[in-house]
Amino acid sequence: MRFKSPPSADSEIGWRVEFRPLDIQLTDFENAALTVFVGMMANIINDFSFDFIVPISNVDEGMKLCQEQDALLK
Protein backbone atom coordinates (compact mmCIF):
# COMPACT_ATOMS: atom_id res chain seq x y z
CA MET A 1 0.00 0.00 0.00
CA ARG A 2 1.30 3.46 -0.85
CA PHE A 3 -0.13 6.91 -0.18
CA LYS A 4 -0.05 9.20 -3.19
CA SER A 5 -0.18 12.94 -2.65
CA PRO A 6 -2.32 15.29 -4.75
CA PRO A 7 -0.71 16.40 -8.03
CA SER A 8 -0.85 20.07 -6.97
CA ALA A 9 -2.33 22.32 -4.32
CA ASP A 10 -4.99 23.56 -6.78
CA SER A 11 -6.06 20.07 -7.85
CA GLU A 12 -9.48 18.70 -6.94
CA ILE A 13 -7.93 15.26 -6.59
CA GLY A 14 -7.09 14.56 -2.96
CA TRP A 15 -4.83 12.02 -1.33
CA ARG A 16 -5.07 8.54 -2.83
CA VAL A 17 -4.10 5.07 -1.71
CA GLU A 18 -2.37 2.75 -4.13
CA PHE A 19 -2.55 -0.99 -3.52
CA ARG A 20 0.18 -3.13 -5.02
CA PRO A 21 0.42 -6.91 -5.10
CA LEU A 22 3.22 -8.38 -3.05
CA ASP A 23 6.58 -8.72 -4.79
CA ILE A 24 7.02 -12.29 -3.66
CA GLN A 25 4.12 -14.65 -4.24
CA LEU A 26 4.11 -18.37 -4.62
CA THR A 27 1.74 -18.47 -7.59
CA ASP A 28 0.00 -16.24 -10.10
CA PHE A 29 -3.27 -17.35 -8.50
CA GLU A 30 -2.32 -15.62 -5.23
CA ASN A 31 -1.57 -12.37 -7.06
CA ALA A 32 -4.92 -12.59 -8.84
CA ALA A 33 -6.71 -13.38 -5.56
CA LEU A 34 -5.16 -10.33 -3.88
CA THR A 35 -6.16 -8.11 -6.81
CA VAL A 36 -9.76 -9.36 -6.70
CA PHE A 37 -9.91 -8.92 -2.92
CA VAL A 38 -8.61 -5.33 -3.08
CA GLY A 39 -11.09 -4.54 -5.85
CA MET A 40 -13.96 -5.93 -3.79
CA MET A 41 -12.83 -3.96 -0.72
CA ALA A 42 -12.65 -0.76 -2.79
CA ASN A 43 -16.20 -1.35 -4.06
CA ILE A 44 -17.49 -1.95 -0.52
CA ILE A 45 -15.78 1.20 0.77
CA ASN A 46 -17.25 3.26 -2.06
CA ASP A 47 -20.75 1.76 -1.88
CA PHE A 48 -21.15 2.23 1.87
CA SER A 49 -19.26 5.56 1.99
CA PHE A 50 -17.06 4.54 4.90
CA ASP A 51 -15.11 7.39 6.50
CA PHE A 52 -11.60 6.50 7.66
CA ILE A 53 -10.64 9.99 8.80
CA VAL A 54 -8.94 10.05 12.20
CA PRO A 55 -9.02 13.37 14.08
CA ILE A 56 -5.52 14.73 14.66
CA SER A 57 -6.33 15.03 18.38
CA ASN A 58 -6.63 11.22 18.54
CA VAL A 59 -3.28 10.86 16.81
CA ASP A 60 -1.66 13.30 19.25
CA GLU A 61 -3.19 11.44 22.20
CA GLY A 62 -1.81 8.13 20.91
CA MET A 63 1.64 9.64 20.39
CA LYS A 64 1.70 11.00 23.95
CA LEU A 65 0.67 7.60 25.31
CA CYS A 66 3.43 5.84 23.35
CA GLN A 67 6.04 8.33 24.52
CA GLU A 68 4.96 7.91 28.14
CA GLN A 69 5.27 4.14 27.85
CA ASP A 70 8.74 4.53 26.33
CA ALA A 71 7.75 2.08 23.58
CA LEU A 72 10.94 2.59 21.59
CA LEU A 73 13.23 1.27 24.32
CA LYS A 74 11.13 -1.67 25.46
Is residue 38 within 8 Å of residue 51, measured between CB atoms?
Answer: no
pLDDT at 63 over 70: yes
The H or E element that residue 30 is part of is: helix 28-48
Rounded Cα distance, 18 and 46, in Å:
15
pLDDT of residue 51: 84
pTM reported for the whole predicted model: 0.52
What are the tens digits of pLDDT across the range 23-33?
Answer: 676 788 888 88
72: confidence class by pLDDT, cuts 50, 70, 90: low
